[in-house]
Structures are given as C-alpha cells and as structure tokens.
C-alpha cells in the first residue's frame, strides 16, 4: 500500500457545494407541511413557576399547539448525562459526584435564564414567536447563585436544596510529595488566575427538524450536531423506540467547536412535537437563543502555587481549582479531570497536589469547548511559570528550557491515570524541539534586542510563550463502514460527523490509500446514523485517530476481500497481488491488471457460473482506542501595547506543533489557524458576562466580541511530525490544540511588553479597560 494521498495537501472534495451556496444546513431543509417551533424561555435565573396559561397564545393566528410540561410529561425523561469515572480512575481517585436531573422542559422550576418553559408550534416562525410572547406564567423568583467561588461556600444559597453545598463534582488528587517539595523550595510563587466564560460561538446556530413517518413508525431528525449517535440514543430513551427506528442526520453543520457536542432539550422536544402533531417540525435557533441556551464554557479560577529552586527548576505544583458548571452537571468528571490531567503539560514535575470543585450556578450549563479544560489549566500553569521566571530573573524561554521534558525522557509516565482510566503516559513528541523551533521562527533572540530599542522610543512590544501537551483522540472507538459498489467506487460512512473539519477529504485520503483507488472514487458520509450502525461523534480532537483508524481498518479489510476474489479470478496467489489506481495486478506483471469492477462483477453469480468469491466487499470497523495519544505544541506571540489606551495589537503568531502523522497539511494549518483565532478571542475579546441577578449581559454579537480579520495577525505554523505509536496511521488529534495556548501566550507577552511597570495579568479577556487599570495602578504606585 503506497501512501499516495495521506500526507498530501489535496484540495477539499466538499468545497464546491459550499462555494455555490448549495450546501444543506438544517435550516435549509424544507418538508411538505413543515411547522415551526419557538420557545418561551425563563426570563429569570432562578425561579419557580406555577402553570403556564396558554389560552391566549393557543388562539392566535397560525398556532397549531402549545406544549407545556403537563402536556409532555410521559415523554420527558431526564436528559442524558456523561462523564462517570471509568474503573481505572475510580480506583485511584475518590470523586464526590452529585448528579443533577435536567428535563427538556422544566417542571415548575427554572435554574438559568434561557431554560425552556413552553414550546409553541405554528405555521411560521414569526407567528410562533408572536404566540410565545402571549404565554402567561406566574413566576416566583428565588435567589440567584451567580459568582462561582462564592457559590462553592457552604453558606451560599443552593440550587439543589438537598445538597450540602453547590459542588457537583469534587475531588483531591496528589502525585509525589508536594508538601516535602514546598518545604525544601528556595522560591514559592503563589497567584490567583481567573479564566472567563467564553465559548465556541459557531456562526450557524443550532437547529433541529423532525418528521415522523406513520407508515413504518420511523422518526427522522436532522440536527446540527457533532454527535448524531448520541442524539439517537437520547431519543431512543425518551421516545421508547428502538435505535433502528430513529434516524439522526447531521447534514452540513456550520461549525461546532464542542458547543454542538452536548445533548440539548431541543434535540428531544422537536421530535416529540413532530410525533405528537403528525407533521414535520423545525426549530432554528436564533442568535439570542444561542447566547443564552447553547452551552457555555471555560470559566475557572485557579489558586496555584509553584515550588522551585533558585535556578528555576520547578519542584512541585499545588492548585486549588474551581470550575463553573452552570445550572446542570451533564459532563461529570470530564472537565474537572481534564483540567488536572493537563496541568503539568511539558514540564518535568514529579509532585502535584490539587483540590477541585466543580460548582453549579444559576447560569447556562457549560460543556466542553475546544480544549475542554486545557486552555484554562495551561493559562494557570504558563502564567505562573512566567511569574516565577520574573521573580528569579530568568528569561521565560530559559525557564522552559530548564523544565521541559527532553525527547529522551519519553515515554513519560506521570504516575496518574488519564480520564479514560488508563495510565497517563506521554507516548511521543519532543517538547524542547518544539520550543526551539517556535522561538526561532518568531525571531525570539533578535526580538529581545529590538525590544529594548523600541522601549527607548516609547514603543512597548512584548513576546510570550506557552506550550501544552494534549491527550487527543479519546476512545473507545468510532464506527466506520466501507463498501464498494458494482463499479468499484467506494462509500465510507462514519459516526464522526463533520462540522467543517474536512472529513470528506481526509477520510477519503485514508480509504483511497488503504484500498489503492483514486481519491475521487471515494465518497464519505459522516453524521447519518442510517449509514453506520454504531458511532460516537466528533469532539475532543478524536476523529482523525478514532474514525481515521476505523476507516483504515475497514478499508484494509475490504482490500483483503478484493485480493481474495482477484486471486481466484487471476488464478494467482493473494500475496502476489497489488491494487493500484483501482486496478488489481500480479506484482511485476502489469499486463495482468484488471479493474476492480471486473473483480466485483466476477464475484456475482451469472446464469453460466457461480461467482469467483463471496460478493462481499464491505467491512465495518470500530477500531479500539483504549487511551489517548499525546499531541503537543509551543506557541509564541509578538504584540504591541499602547500603555495610554490599553489597546493590544497582535503582530505575529507562531505555532510549532506535533500532531503525529499529518494526513493533509492544508487542513491541519486551517485547524490550527481557526483554533488560534478562537484563543485570541478568549485572550482579548470574548466574555459571557452576567449581572448579579444571573442575567446575561452579552446577549448579542454586538457585545460578545468574536475576533474579525483585523484582530487576527499573520499565523505561521511549523509542523513537527512525531508519529503516534498508538494507532495504525500514526496520527494524533489536532482540532483543539490551536485554541489552548493563545490566552497564556498573549497574557505572557503583555506582561513582557509592560515589564517596566511590573504589571501582572491575572484574568482574561485582557480588555483595554482592564489593562489600563493594571498599568495605572502600577504607574502611580
């Protein structure tokens, strides 16, 4: 098998339909008799309500039905939850986990502003909205629990009265002997860092269309989701239908970033409405709904301490971590444990002690978003390391050189389990080479000289570094089915839905190479539960590893079947056959070549003869991925600060990264760029802000500031390929990585630029007002 396509920057096969405006997103789907839903959502962050008076709304023009909890009770099961600790992890760490029960449509209580209270179905969206406004609800407001650290204290009002406090997931964890290391340290650095709420904000909001076919009792639903098989399972539970009767299709999806990997009330409510009404129903989330009802992410507080020797060698880390879950805890240990598992990153640190509290608050529930705990934890760690460097007078690059693990130290066993319960062992990579490569590409050494000269002219430029090591490709598997048609053309189906990642191209590259066919023979379908029976979905940088491996495995199995049949047809030994460019031949005898179509057709019986082999050119694989494989990167950013306005201008951004074997460098670059842009948003612009009553103040894209092309500087990438030993393709995940380091790198660079004033950046986004306040307090001090 030659690698003809894997590794090549082939142009994406899916592009033409997008470019012509012919892609089909959920909101583009129209069905005869389609009805439209709108929701009444709680205006209060925390309130009980008694009955919803639907009379006036139900009588309005175009309204077909109004649904409240009472109308739907038999269908309303608690929404699915994830993140129970697997055995290997549960043995090692004692988690306190308090489950929350969330219904698609609340029974008498709302725990965040935006929670659904009632659903209106009408003949147009505008009319559904008219009617939703006419619903009357009697509210009894309760105290809103908003600020997370305060909410974790026992004296705080509680969201769930039968809990002792608002901590939904709590644990402590230690490796080595942190106390001894702190006792022996020359330097102890303590700091408190705050990472704000911010989130993926795909440009396409969510959407669901559902239609029930009475004739065969099947439900089809189109959902702008990253996880169609999860949605299918949720619906099977809610509706009491077998999974085979429920088809979930994620058509073209306009960005996900984790936001669309959660299970949502609307996933169930729209199908339920379609069932109840016997007509297809559509709901297209609008931006206002998206801001308050699609998952939020990120908000964490770290009280971190580093113990170090005078020469900068870090001996131990202590960290007290709070995470804001919002009103419901749907993800168990996923975010809190991810945060811990990625805290040490590329640093050689043997002693760690953490205390973690994931806290419920009266805000929109949070879910994993691109990086899922990593950007937060890397911010705390890399900021602390820079503070330490400054304290002992070391350059930030030098302190990293002294503490980064060397390539010769890998595999590196952290002495703790990963989230999947298996030992956390960095499998491959070279973090120091990544550091040097990034520094060189950014011109670090030269910049230090230039920086001084600029400062003398009153120009404040800075450079910042951040690195991470990321567990990617979490298993346990992804389903893939590979099948040939009569002409030898290939269809590949996987559970890994694409939301722009280019799966139709990358998986085609993998399948084409494994089979020995031209790329354009392969069609990839992701996100249709009818096309592949078992699947998981696209999130956590998992698809290249999981789906890629399964596609490879299934395609390899199909190839074996082809070879077996061709051997009969050509009367040759199977091991003597090769498949290239869609033709099978005996090695060394090109004249023997026959087209795959011939092999397939020869396998089908005719009146004259039986087939040469079983006409089975299909295989399904769920490649087992027991644990993650470790990708890594170092980011370096250069920027300029206007100390009189607090405005930060990014000048250059460099990423040196290892995502194992690269399937398509063009697509990899695109993923990195996109991740960095989102990280820039987190560093400087984006924040979901609540007031003390739990009202979201950033309810539109006027106030929630997604970076534009003017805010994202030129980005350079350096690819370092250290193939993963943990999967047949040697690949690692890279979807999330770009978003991990920018907040830390940018904050570090800002401090570097403002070194004369000793400014310390402890929270993001670093808005001009925040920064000027920091500068001001230093200048006058």
Partner 1 sequence: MKPAPFAYHAPRALDETLGLLARHGDEAKILAGGQSLVPLLNFRLARPAVVVDINRMSGLGEIREEDRQIAVGALVRQRRLEVWAQQGFPLLADALRYVGHHAIRTRGTVAGSLAHADPAAELPALLVCLEGSVVARSPAGHREVRARELFVSHLTTSLRPDELITEVRLPRLHTGAGWGFLEVARRHGDFALVGAAAVVSLADGRIAEPRVALFGCGATPVRASRAEAILAGQPPTPEAVVAAARDAAGALAPESDLHATAEYRRRVAQTLMVRALGLAIGRARGNGP
Partner 2 sequence: MTRVIRVRVNDQAHERQVEVRRTLADFLREDLDLTGTHLGCEHGVCGACTVLLEGEPVRACLLLAVQADGARVTTVEGLAAGGRLHPLQEAFRAHHALQCGYCTPGILLTAAAFLAEHPRPAREQIREMLAGTLCRCTGYQFIVDAVAAAAQAMSP
Interface residues toward partner 2, by CB under 8 A: 11-12, 14-16, 18-25, 27-28, 30, 126, 200-205, 252-255, 257, 284, 286-287, 499-502, 666-667, 669-670, 672-678, 700-702, 706, 708-710, 712, 714-715, 738
Residue 666 interacting entry, from ligand FES, partner 1, partner 2, none, C-beta within 5 to 8 Å by type:
partner 2
Which among 85-93, 127-135, 451-459, 607-615 is the span making contact with partner 1, rule CB under 8 A? 127-135
- Binding of partner 1 by 287 (CB under 8 A): yes
Does 707 help bind partner 1 (rule: CB under 8 A)?
yes
Assess contact for 262 and 364: CB atoms under 8 A: no
Q: What residues from 243 to 302 belong to the interface with ligand FES (CB under 6 A)?
A: 255
Mention every residue, 6+ apart, whose C-beta is less than 8 A from residue 142: 46, 47, 48, 157
Per CB under 8 A, 700 contacts partner 1 = yes
Q: Does 645 bind partner 1 (CB under 8 A)?
A: yes
**Residues 384, 385, 386, 391: what is their CA dihedral angle, to the nearest 10 degrees?**
90
Closest distance between ligand FES and the C-beta of residue 255, in Å?
A: 5
Q: Does 502 bind ligand FES (CB under 6 A)?
A: no
CB of 371 to partner 1, least distance (A): 22
Site for ligand FES contains 203 (CB under 6 A): yes
Q: Strand 246-249 to strand 412-417: parallel, antiparallel, or no bridges (unpaired)? A: unpaired
Residue from the set 4, 158, 288, 309 that interacts with partner 1 by CB under 8 A: 288
Cα 74 to Cα 268: distance, rounded to the nearest angstrom: 13
Closest distance of CB 647 from partner 1, Å: 6
Q: Tokens 């901590």 identify what position?
A: 167
Size of residue set near ligand FES by CB under 6 A: 3
Site mask for partner 1 (CB under 8 A), range 597-636, x = bound: ----------------------------------------
- Binding partner of residue 769 among partner 1, partner 2, ligand FES, none, CB cut-off 5 to 8 Å per kind: partner 1
Nearer to partner 2, 16 or 758 (CB): 16
Of the pair 484, 680, the CB lying nearest partner 2 is at 680
Stretch that binds partner 1, among 26-34, 136-144, 157-165, 772-780 (CB under 8 A): 772-780
Residue 59 binding partner 1, by CB under 8 A: no
Verify binding: residue 429, ligand FES, rule CB under 6 A.
Answer: no
- Are the CB atoms for 137 and 144 separated by under 8 Å? no
Could you tell me if 314 and 388 are in contact, meaning their C-beta atoms sit under 8 angstroms apart?
Answer: yes
Do residues 688 and 196 make contact, with C-beta atoms less than 8 angstroms apart? Answer: yes
Among the listed residues 500, 526, 537, 707, the single contact to ligand FES using CB under 6 A: 500
Backbone angles phi, psi at 533, to 5 degrees: -70, -40
The answer to whether residues 319 and 305 touch, using CB atoms and an 8 Å cutoff, is yes
Write out the H or E segment, with its range, that includes residue 597. Answer: helix 596-602
Instruction: Give yes or no for a contact between 283 and 262, defined as CB atoms under 8 angstroms apart.
Output: no
Selected binder of partner 1 within 125, 320, 401, 652 (CB under 8 A): 125
Q: Residue 587 in contact with residue 577, Cβ under 8 Å?
A: yes
How, if at all, do strands 412-417 and 423-426 pair?
antiparallel
345 binds ligand FES (CB under 6 A): no
Residue with smaller CB distance to partner 2, 36 or 383: 36
CB atoms within 10 A of CB 84: 13
CB 332 within 8 A of CB 301: no
- Closest distance between partner 2 and the C-beta of residue 303, in Å? 32
- Residue 777 binds partner 1, judged by CB under 8 A: no
- Decide: helix, strand or coil at residue 767: coil
Position 464 contacts ligand FES (CB under 6 A): no
β 647-658/629-642 pair status: antiparallel
Q: Among the residues of 193-299, which ranges form H helices?
A: 228-239, 265-277, 287-293
Closer CB to ligand FES, residue 101 or residue 203? 203
**How far apart are alpha carbons 239 and 3 in whole angstroms?**
46
Residue 323: which of 345, 305, 343 has the closest Cα?
A: 343
Distances (CA, A) of 76 to 103, 145, 508: 6, 26, 40
HSE-CB at 611 with a 13 A cutoff on CA atoms is 16
Binding to ligand FES, residues 746-775 (CB under 6 A)? none
Footprint of ligand FES on this chain (CB under 6 A)? 203, 255, 500
Footprint of partner 1 on this chain (CB under 8 A)? 125-126, 129-130, 133, 286-288, 644-647, 685, 689, 697-698, 700, 702-703, 705, 707-708, 710-711, 767-769, 772-773, 776
């Amino acid at each position: 098998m030659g690698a003809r396509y894997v590794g090549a920057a082939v142009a994406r096969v899916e592009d033409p339909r997008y470019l012509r405006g012919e892609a089909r997103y959920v909101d583009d789907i129209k069905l005869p008799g389609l009805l439209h839903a709108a929701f009444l959502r709680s205006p209060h962050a925390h309130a009980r309500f008694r009955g919803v008076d639907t009379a006036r709304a139900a009588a309005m023009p175009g309204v077909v039905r109004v649904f409240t909890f009472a109308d739907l009770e038999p269908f309303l099961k608690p929404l699915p939850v994830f993140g129970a600790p697997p055995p290997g992890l549960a043995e090692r760490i004692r988690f306190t986990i308090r489950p929350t029960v969330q219904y698609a449509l609340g029974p008498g209580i709302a725990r965040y502003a935006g929670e659904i209270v009632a659903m209106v179905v009408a003949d147009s969206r505008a009319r559904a909205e008219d009617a939703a406004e006419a619903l009357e609800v009697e509210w009894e407001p309760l105290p809103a629990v908003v600020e997370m650290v305060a909410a974790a204290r026992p004296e705080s009002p509680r969201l769930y009265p039968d809990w002792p406090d608002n901590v939904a997931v709590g644990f402590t964890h230690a490796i080595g002997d942190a106390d001894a290391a702190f006792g022996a340290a020359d330097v102890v650095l303590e700091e408190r860092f705050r990472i704000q709420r911010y989130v993926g904000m795909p440009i396409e909001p969510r959407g669901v269309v559902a239609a029930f076919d009475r004739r065969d009792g099947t439900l089809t639903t189109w959902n702008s989701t990253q996880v169609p098989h999860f949605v299918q399972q949720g619906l099977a539970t809610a509706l009491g239908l077998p999974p085979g009767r429920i088809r979930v299709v994620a058509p073209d999806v306009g960005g996900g970033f984790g936001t669309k990997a959660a299970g949502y009330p609307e996933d169930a409510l729209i199908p339920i409405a379609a069932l109840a009404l016997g007509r297809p129903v559509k709901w297209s989330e609008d931006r206002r709904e998206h801001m308050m009802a699609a998952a939020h992410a990120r908000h964490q507080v770290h009280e971190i301490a580093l113990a170090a020797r005078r020469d900068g060698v870090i001996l131990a880390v202590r960290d007290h971590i709070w995470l804001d879950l919002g009103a419901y805890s749907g993800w168990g240990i996923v975010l809190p444990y991810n945060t811990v598992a990625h805290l040490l990153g590329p640093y050689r640190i043997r002693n760690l002690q953490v205390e973690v509290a994931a806290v419920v608050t009266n805000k929109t529930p949070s879910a994993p978003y691109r990086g899922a705990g990593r950007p937060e934890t890397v911010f705390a760690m890399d900021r602390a390391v820079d503070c330490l460097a400054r304290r002992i007078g070391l350059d930030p690059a030098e302190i990293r050189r002294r503490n980064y693990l060397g390539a010769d130290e890998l595999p590196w066993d952290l002495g703790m389990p990963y989230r999947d319960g298996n030992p956390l062992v960095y499998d491959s990579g070279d973090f120091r080479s990544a550091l040097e490569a990034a520094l060189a590409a950014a011109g670090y050494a030269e910049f230090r000289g230039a920086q001084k000269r600029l400062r003398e002219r009153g120009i404040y430029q800075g450079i910042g570094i951040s690195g991470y090591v990321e567990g990617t490709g979490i298993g346990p598997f992804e389903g893939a089915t590979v099948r040939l048609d009569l002409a030898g053309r290939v269809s590949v189906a996987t559970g890994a839905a694409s939301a722009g990642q280019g799966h139709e191209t990358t998986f085609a590259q993998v399948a084409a190479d494994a089979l020995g066919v031209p790329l354009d023979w392969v069609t990839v379908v992701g996100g249709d539960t009818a096309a592949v029976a078992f699947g998981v979905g696209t999130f956590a940088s998992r698809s290249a590893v999981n789906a890629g491996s399964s596609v490879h495995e299934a395609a390899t199995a199909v190839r074996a079947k082809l070879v077996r049949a061709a051997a009969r047809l050509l009367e040759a030994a199977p091991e003597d056959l090769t498949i290239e460019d869609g033709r099978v031949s005996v090695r060394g005898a090109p004249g023997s070549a026959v087209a795959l179509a011939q092999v397939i057709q020869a396998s089908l019986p005719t009146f004259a003869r039986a087939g040469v082999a079983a006409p089975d050119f299909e295989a399904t694989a769920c490649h087992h991925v027991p644990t993650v494989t470790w990708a890594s990167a170092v980011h370096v950013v250069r920027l300029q600060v206007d100390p009189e306005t607090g405005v930060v201008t990014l000048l250059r951004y460099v990423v040196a990264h290892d995502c194992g074997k690269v399937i398509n460098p063009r697509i990899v670059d695109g993923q990195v760029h996109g991740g960095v842009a989102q990280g820039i948003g987190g560093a400087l612009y984006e924040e979901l802000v609540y007031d003390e009553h739990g009202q979201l103040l950033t309810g539109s894209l006027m106030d929630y500031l997604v970076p534009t092309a003017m805010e994202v500087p030129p980005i350079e990438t350096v690819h370092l390929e250290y193939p993963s030993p943990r999967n047949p393709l040697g690949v690692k995940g890279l979807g999330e990585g770009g978003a991990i380091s920018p907040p830390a790198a940018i904050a570090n660079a800002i401090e570097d630029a403002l070194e004369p004033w000793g400014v310390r950046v402890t929270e993001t986004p670093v808005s001009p007002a925040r920064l000027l306040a920091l500068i001001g307090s230093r200048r006058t001090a």
